[in-house]
């Protein structure tokens, strides 16, 4: 925010503080705001599972409410209000932190902004497994008049929110990553030999939590098929989640000693650098952090046409986008890149050249502009 005097107390409310995509974007935002001189508090309505040391070392206050259902959230609401009362602005990320955080802001008369990361309402479920679409739409409609602005990470989300009754400013701010920091980290990780992967093999990597929408089973089948015509093709899976056991069982049934499951890792940039291609055959996304990370590190990508993935790939020229759910097209695109080192190099260089548009300081500056407008009660345009 412009000027040395424009330093604010910002409360960031989220469901979890963890390594997942939206949570990673929020951590980058929090660190950037702190570097800009703002006082930053992050409150997880659930728990903190990773990243706490780096955030605390930067001077960011962290708290977890350990509230995982409606009743525990109601009991924790007083504590959340106390955090809101200390802040100049309340920013919320993720359903249903965007409900409880905004309610706390309303009660304490603080301006509030929220960021929409949805991969699609059809993929958001209630605790009982039903669709959360109607309840999310209802709370957006009811709370819109109390919300200064809604930030979207993908342009496709604008029509969704407008259909739900959001009439306040909708501002698009794409996700971003700390480019130079990632490039430095990429030089410090393991080698292929450390992971038991031959140097001359062709390597795919998928960085994502294990969930059906992320398509790890598709990647497994794709690599199994590509090995028949391209030789020693391998895959690294980085992440944890509810479908991991199922995918591991499928790999065991295939005798897939060429599939490596690494779980959660803190050296993702280095793993992306080891790969020939980074993939994400998802059926729902907002603007995936893992593809952005691969692109700025010079690893070409194959993604599916969901969320703003097509825009990301086409605007950077760093990969191939295929229709969601089209496994044949996905395999064809992966095969095309793995078979053509010259093409991979060209796409990788395009991604590196486009990295300036996805650097975290630029994202933080855009958030600061919205936050300053909210705190000073000045207009901000849709955009």
Distance, in Å, from the CA atom of 220 to the CA atom of 246, rounded to the nearest integer, reads 12
* Domain residue spans of the chain: 9-176+359-376, 179-358
Q: Going by CATH, does the domain composed of 9-176+359-376 fall within 3.40.190.10?
A: no
Asked whether 201 and 233 are in contact (CB, 8 A), the reply is yes
Residue 127: the pLDDT is 66
Identify the architecture of domain 179-358 in CATH.
Answer: 3-Layer(aba) Sandwich (3.40)
User: 179-358: same fold as 9-176+359-376?
Assistant: yes
Q: Which residues pair with 89 in a beta bridge?
A: 10
CB 13 within 8 A of CB 91: yes
Token readout for 181 is 């920091």
Residues 6+ apart with CB under 8 A from 347: 300, 301, 317, 318, 319, 337
pLDDT at 1: 45
pLDDT (0 to 100) of residue 4:
42
Query: In which residue are the tokens 């291609």 written?
Result: 277
pLDDT at position 126 is 59
pLDDT at 313: 98
- What's the burial of 184, exposed, middle or buried (CB within 10 Å: 0-12/13-18/19+)? exposed
Sequential DSSP letters for 278-316: EEE--S--SS-HHHHHHHHTT--EEEESSTTHHHHHHHH
pLDDT at 6: 80
Question: Within the chain, which residues score under 70 in pLDDT?
Answer: 1-5, 123-131
Question: Is-contact 22 59, C-beta < 8 A?
Answer: no
Residue 135 buriedness (CB in 10 A; 0-12 / 13-18 / 19+): middle
Query: What is the pLDDT, as a whole number, of residue 130?
Result: 64
Determine if the pTM surpasses 0.85: yes
């Amino acid at each position: 925010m412009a000027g040395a005097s424009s330093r604010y107390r910002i409360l960031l409310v989220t469901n979890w503080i963890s390594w997942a995509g939206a949570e990673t974007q929020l951590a980058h935002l929090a660190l950037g705001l702190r570097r800009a001189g703002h006082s930053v508090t992050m409150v997880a309505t659930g728990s903190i599972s990773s990243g706490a040391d780096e955030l605390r070392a930067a001077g960011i206050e962290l708290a977890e409410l350990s509230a995982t259902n409606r009743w525990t959230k109601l009991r924790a609401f007083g504590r959340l209000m106390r955090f809101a009362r200390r802040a100049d602005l309340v920013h919320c990320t993720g359903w249903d932190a965007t409900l409880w955080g905004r309610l706390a802001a309303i009660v304490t008369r603080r301006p509030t902004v929220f960021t929409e990361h949805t991969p699609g309402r059809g993929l958001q479920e209630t605790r009982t497994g039903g669709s959360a679409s109607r309840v999310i739409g209802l709370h957006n409609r009811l709370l819109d008049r109390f919300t200064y602005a809604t930030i979207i990470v993908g342009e496709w989300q604008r029509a969704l929110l407008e259909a739900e009754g959001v009439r306040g400013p909708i501002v698009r701010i794409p996700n971003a990553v700390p480019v130079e920091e990632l490039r430095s980290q990429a030089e410090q990780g393991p080698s292929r030999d450390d992971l038991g992967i031959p140097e001359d093999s062709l390597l795919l990597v998928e960085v994502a939590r294990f969930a059906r929408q992320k398509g790890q089973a598709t990647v497994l089948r794709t690599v199994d098929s590509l090995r028949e015509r391209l030789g020693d093709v391998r895959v690294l899976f980085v992440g944890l989640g509810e479908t991991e056991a199922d995918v591991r069982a499928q790999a065991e049934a295939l005798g897939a000693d060429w599939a490596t499951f690494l779980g959660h890792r803190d050296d993702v940039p280095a793993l992306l650098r080891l790969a020939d291609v980074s993939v994400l055959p998802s059926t729902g996304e907002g603007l995936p952090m893992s593809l952005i990370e691969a692109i700025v590190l010079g690893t070409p990508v194959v993604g599916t046409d969901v969320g703003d993935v097509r825009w990301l790939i086409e605007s950077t020229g760093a990969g191939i986008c295929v229709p969601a759910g089209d496994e044949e097209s996905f395999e064809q695109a992966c095969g095309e890149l793995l078979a053509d080192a010259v093409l991979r190099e060209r796409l990788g260089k395009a991604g590196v050249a486009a990295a300036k548009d996805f650097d975290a300081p630029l994202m933080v500056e855009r958030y600061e502009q919205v936050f300053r407008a909210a705190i000073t009660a000045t207009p901000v345009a849709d955009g």
